[in-house]
Copies of this chain bind each other. A is one copy, B any other.
């Protein structure tokens, strides 16, 4: 688990004329989950609100610190990059990013300055005048028969891509591969297995090469570690032990 990287503080989420305060709460929670902290509200319809608090769950601190503006331009003060969300494919010659590209670009620019991600009204999105304020647009791909994402969900997806990009930006910590048993240890297991199958009377000698090959393939896929080999051999010994007891 990695902590929140410093450049994430330079990213603000801007919500324009949100109607439902529950959505503002959901946005706060989604942001905090993904290490974003600066929430800017442009002329929210109903705010503050109990519903926002309820949906924010443990992200009340983001609501408390939320900044409220009368207009979009005020909320964008000081930003070097403004990205607007668009549900539609537009005819204007705007560059439209996908969410992954958006995450990469936001992180790259947040390393050197302030960045805003702007989300429009629940029903009608951003106006053309508001889109004019954006350097770039981002479009979240969805089912073409049901494309209207909930506001909280849209923020969640973009915040996730931004957060992932911040993790990738960090010096990638090596994810240590699993320990696995050595070739000779695995070989010892397969020899033991063959003997045990004979001892318990399972292996038909005419078929046993084919059978043992299948079992090999299975354990090659599983790639057991040392402990697992020891457990498996313990089981084989227990099964064989019954034989000597019988003698």
List residues of chain A with CB under 8 Å of any chain B CB: 1-4, 26, 29-30, 32-35, 57-59, 89, 93, 99, 140-150, 152-153, 156-157, 160, 163-164, 167, 178, 197, 200-202, 211, 214-215, 218-219, 221-225, 227-228, 231, 234-235, 238-239, 241-243, 245-246
Residues of B within 8 A of A156 (CB): 153, 156-157
Cα A67 to Cα B70 with chains together (Å): 47
Number of copies of this kind of chain in the complex: 2
29 A-B residue pairings within 8 Å (CB atoms) = A1-B89, A1-B141, A1-B147, A2-B144, A26-B150, A26-B153, A29-B153, A30-B150, A32-B143, A33-B146, A33-B148, A58-B146, A142-B163, A143-B163, A156-B157, A157-B157, A200-B238, A201-B241, A202-B238, A211-B231, A214-B227, A215-B228, A215-B231, A218-B224, A221-B221, A221-B222, A239-B239, A242-B246, A246-B246
Closest B residue to A99 by beta carbon equals B160
